[in-house]
Structure 1
């Protein structure tokens, strides 16, 4: 009892004394690298970002065009234009060229800003955490889009998902992250947009030559990858397409082939007794000789594929609208076209009224004056203006009026 009384007395005296402050817990800064080069500054990042933003914008817009031409929703199918006949060739060529040019631009941009990964503390506030999260999404989506897009140009798919829908979805994710990033960084971008901006006045003049040298080297890299790949679509430069996965002159009958007859499971025996079935108010079944006896028309149209290559060729065959008229179909009818191949994502394709009514749309029997080779769709294939190559159905066996 005595000890308890003494303890209580001591505790009462201590309550009146000021408490010492608690020690502040400070995290030791890890040994991080230091960056003294001025080319990792905001001005350099802004200049490269402008170029990268243009490449991404062109790639996104042309990618939307490509996607909706290949996979139009029902309300858009009959409204797709067939002219200009070279439209898809231009937009898809730009899509692949801008995506390829974005690769060195993205690498340079990441090199410029990567020292900010080592900022300490890594998260300063909620706003800073959200900003870093948006940048992580932007970088991840950018790398994913460019990597998968480049692999698609060589038709190599080392992943378990379907390329087209995932690439399309991530494109929207990338664009949203980019818009958010620009909105958050707008004050800093504005301050370093030009050499005369107030935010750039503190930069030493000696950095100017180094920055110009970096920009010249980057422009040379972008030009080199563009010139050595764009020839697969811009045929005047085809002799320079050293890095392109396709050469526009290499292939049977002087035209490249993406999907061969062997890959599609179509053999010479399978087309021996070939017949074309055309359904409609007056359904008909035609042999190859009967098709060849109908009025023939020759058009010059490009084959333009999603991988970025394209080339003009002369096609001879029967107009689709003439076949529809003989089958008793009303003008402006849509079609469903079926191939002989047993499997494949594009074995069955639909064609809207904008294409069926165009006089350039043919059921082609000849290519560049020669009978179609089996790899090019013998006995008959579709050729239409402003239409992706995957929808130019080969080995046509059935045309159904919808």
Structure 2
């Protein structure tokens, strides 16, 4: 017989029941699946496989802003939901005997992997929003594979528990006042963490941005900055800076020659993987005009190299759909002012529906591929 404080009957709350677990689980599952789908899209935009690379589209203009905002919003909302879900089921940890059969042991092992993957995924994702990485492994690759592990584990868990979920999907008895109060508390918690962080990408919630790591209206020229010129080692552009474009007809352009070319303006957002975004009015030379000047084919991709000496996005590739888009600019000004060094002076890339890490700053060279 079991002895001690965790003996049979030690957990007296009526909320450690299948109905409560199913109700919370529906909400948690929805948040996690939205988070996974939008995160997968972000990964594909940042590192598209060869078969997808030339089929990406630069529309809708605000697409990445919306999907990455949803990714971070749903991930943060999942944190209190996961806490509530684990609270409803944690007495199961103390079942006796721990494993009644091989199948039961495998099921419990799968749940352990699922919970561990979810906790690590949400924990590392939350710290990524403040750009704090107190671990030795690479964040992006680890986050990507943990997402697959957590989602696969969730689907397997749902398959194993399908009869139980189906039996308690709808309320069959009188509503429990305790359950109503508990679910109201969970809903309020999700609402608070969402409303106080979503303003970093949702303009009409900006006044409520209390706990978000970024306010989208604070920074040089009214825009936030993730990587400063000092961090990139590009605080001062070379006095003889010029843009080099390599292609069938290679050439170089000084700043005065760039300014003498037709100038275009575009209202486009900077949307970063950490979940914040902000719109600005950019002005500069269309990238498609620079391609035409170099004799680039219509379907040519573009490689952009930054002045920064090091960094994972010092060199980025741009598919033809982005390079040829009339809104894609080699920006020289923002909101009517010459670019601040932190925003990429002397020139930067700005393109629609593109992750912020790929909007290369401090551009030195373009190469037609």
TM-score over 0.5 for the alignment?
yes
Q: Which residue in 1 is equivalent to 2:248?
A: 281
Q: Which residue in 2 is equivalent to 1:111?
A: 87
Q: Which residue in 2 is equivalent to 1:144?
A: 120
Q: Which residue in 1 is equivalent to 2:166?
A: 190
Query: Which ranges of structure 2 fall in alignment gaps of 5 or more residues?
Result: none
CA contact (8 A) 1:282 1:328 kept: yes
Instruction: Output the CA distance in 1 between the equivalents of 2:29 and 2:69.
Output: 18
Question: In the TM superposition, what is the alpha-carbon distance from 1:78 to its structure 2 partner?
Answer: 1.5
- Normalised to the residue count of structure 1, the TM-score between the two structures is 0.90
1:227 is the counterpart of 2:195: yes
Q: Which residue in 2 is equivalent to 1:14?
A: none
Instruction: Output the CA distance in 1 between the equivalents of 2:352 and 2:54.
Output: 15
CA contact (8 A) 1:332 1:356 kept: no
Aligned length: 366
1:252 is the counterpart of 2:220: yes
Paired residues for 1:354-373 under 5 Å: 354-373=321-340
1:99 is the counterpart of 2:99: no
Instruction: Output the CA distance in 2 between the equivalents of 1:257 and 1:347.
Output: 16
Instruction: Output the CA distance in 1 between the equivalents of 2:69 and 2:238.
Output: 34
CA contact (8 A) 1:295 1:318 kept: yes
Query: Which ranges of structure 1 fall in alignment gaps of 5 or more residues?
Result: 1-27
Aligned with 2:347 (options 347, 363, 380): 380
SS in 1 for 2:15: helix
SS in 2 for 1:39: coil
Q: Which residue in 2 is equivalent to 1:42?
A: 18
Q: Which residue in 1 is equivalent to 2:293?
A: 326
Q: Which residue in 2 is equivalent to 1:344?
A: 311
Q: Which residue in 1 is equivalent to 2:279?
A: 312
Deviation string, structure 1 residues 224-259 (Cα, Å, up to 9, x no partner): 000000000001111111000000011000000000
Deviation string, structure 1 residues 117-170 (Cα, Å, up to 9, x no partner): 111111111111011001001100000000000000000001111111111011
Deviation string, structure 1 residues 25-54 (Cα, Å, up to 9, x no partner): xxx524242111110101000000000000
Paired residues for 1:294-313 under 5 Å: 294-313=261-280
Instruction: Output the CA distance in 2 between the equivalents of 1:114 and 1:382.
Output: 50
Deviation string, structure 1 residues 243-284 (Cα, Å, up to 9, x no partner): 00000011000000000000001121x432211100111101
Instruction: Output the CA distance in 1 between the equivalents of 2:276 and 2:3.
Output: 50
Q: Which residue in 1 is equivalent to 2:209?
A: 241
- Normalised to the residue count of structure 2, the TM-score between the two structures is 0.98
Bigger radius of gyration: 1
CA contact (8 A) 1:32 1:118 kept: no
1:62 is the counterpart of 2:62: no
Aligned with 2:135 (options 148, 151, 159): 159
Instruction: Output the CA distance in 1 between the equivalents of 2:24 and 2:317.
Output: 43
SS in 2 for 1:108: helix
Question: In the TM superposition, what is the alpha-carbon distance from 1:332 to its structure 2 partner?
Answer: 2.3
Instruction: Output the CA distance in 1 between the equivalents of 2:36 and 2:286.
Output: 34
SS in 1 for 2:215: coil
SS in 1 for 2:176: helix
Instruction: Output the CA distance in 2 between the equivalents of 1:376 and 1:223.
Output: 34
Aligned with 1:127 (options 93, 99, 103): 103
4+ aligned runs moved over 6 Å, structure 1: none
Instruction: Output the CA distance in 2 between the equivalents of 1:315 and 1:267.
Output: 21
